[in-house]
Amino acid sequence: MNFVDLHLHTKHSDGILTPAEVVKTAAAHGVGVISITDHDNVRGLKEAAEAARAAAIKIIAGVEVSTTWHAKPIHFMVYGFKPDDKDFLDFLDRQGEKRRSYFADKVEAVAPGLAEEFLLENKTFTGNSITRDFLVRKGIFSDLETAGNALATVNVADRYVSPEEAIAAAKNAGAVICLAHPLAPKISLKRIDPAPAAQKKLVAELKGFGLDGVECYQSSHAKEDVDCALEIASDLRLLVSSGSDWHGPIEILGEGMKAYIPFYAPFPGALQTPPAAVAGLLERLGMAVDNA
């Protein structure tokens, strides 16, 4: 089975490669179990599944769902849902509309007057990569890194659902839900409360909503963050997940990514997480580690 990487992005949200390219890159670096987890959409799932079959690696249906909690952004990794569940797909479509409005506001902030054109070009979904591309094509910025850095400085209001609503929608689709990058510098529990004891109470509250696990091994986590997340997961009897949160080569994305992901992975699977480290999660998803 080699390594496990359950947090990867493609051009369908804020990555820069196609789903097939991400899968091939992961396979080339020894990843045996993968999940493509674009933000609030599963448009790359079919292509990724076909590429995974061709590469002879295992793939888990995934999506990263955005929520707002305590007036801060909090994300969840959703795994193993029924890909054709209409209610869940409708939920993601509504999330996509929220993302369109969110990024349109960002476009308006850095390029006044272009928001309407941006929305006309992106009628179903948008994200960081699509927004960066748009701004470069329109000549507002010279390259993707400069555009990305400009967007990162713009603060606009989140419009996302509560964790309770997101978890309920995912549970109804048969999913397993993990808290994404819980101790990252930006989108994390740290933004709600910096105290570890308070963070543990927050995770306990999320468990009461139906949370199944915590993404402990993560490129945005320092060693002490990993240790803290593992302790929280153990104390609350939650599953452990792992993901590089890879969006593409840093040389193209730019060093600004490290404000969000300080230890940005050079490639999928760079965390070298063995299946045994996340065995409980894999087994919940129907994947027998010993036989995989």
pLDDT in tens, 121-132: 887 766 777 898
- Tell whether the model's pLDDT for residue 118 goes beyond 90: yes
The whole domain housing 124 covers 3-291
Q: What pLDDT, on a 0 to 100 scale, did the predictor assign at position 292?
A: 44
- Tell whether the model's pLDDT for residue 289 goes beyond 90: no
Q: What is the pTM of this model?
A: 0.91
CATH number at residue 197: 3.20.20.140
Percent of all residues in the chain with a pLDDT value above 90, rounded to a whole number: 78
- Tell whether the model's pLDDT for residue 146 goes beyond 70: yes
pLDDT in tens, 65-117: 999 999 999 999 999 999 899 999 999 999 988 888 889 999 999 999 999 99
pLDDT in tens, 157-200: 777 999 999 999 999 999 999 999 999 999 999 999 999 999 99
Q: What pLDDT, on a 0 to 100 scale, did the predictor assign at position 290?
A: 66
pLDDT in tens, 209-234: 999 999 999 999 999 999 999 999 99
Q: What mean pLDDT, rounded, does the chain reach? A: 94
pLDDT in tens, 20-30: 999 999 999 99
Which pLDDT band holds residue 41 (cuts at 50, 70, 90)? very high
- What's the number of domains the chain is made of? 1
The 3 state secondary structure assigned to the chain is CCEEEEEECCCCCCCCCCHHHHHHHHHHCCEEEEEECCECCCCCHHHHHHHHHHHCCEECCEEEEEEEECCEEEEEEEECCCCCCHHHHHHHHHHHHHHHHHHHHHHHHHCCCCHHHHHHHCCCCCCHHHHHHHHHHCCCCCCHHHHHHHHHCCCCCCCCECHHHHHHHHHHCCCEEEECCCCCCCCCHHHCCCCHHHHHHHHHHHHHHCCCEEEEEECCCCHHHHHHHHHHHHHCCCEEEEECCECCCHHHHCHHHHHCCCCCCCCCCCCCCCHHHHHHHHHHCCCCHHHC
Structure-model confidence comparison of residues 90 and 256, the more confident one: 90
Q: What pLDDT, on a 0 to 100 scale, did the predictor assign at position 1?
A: 63
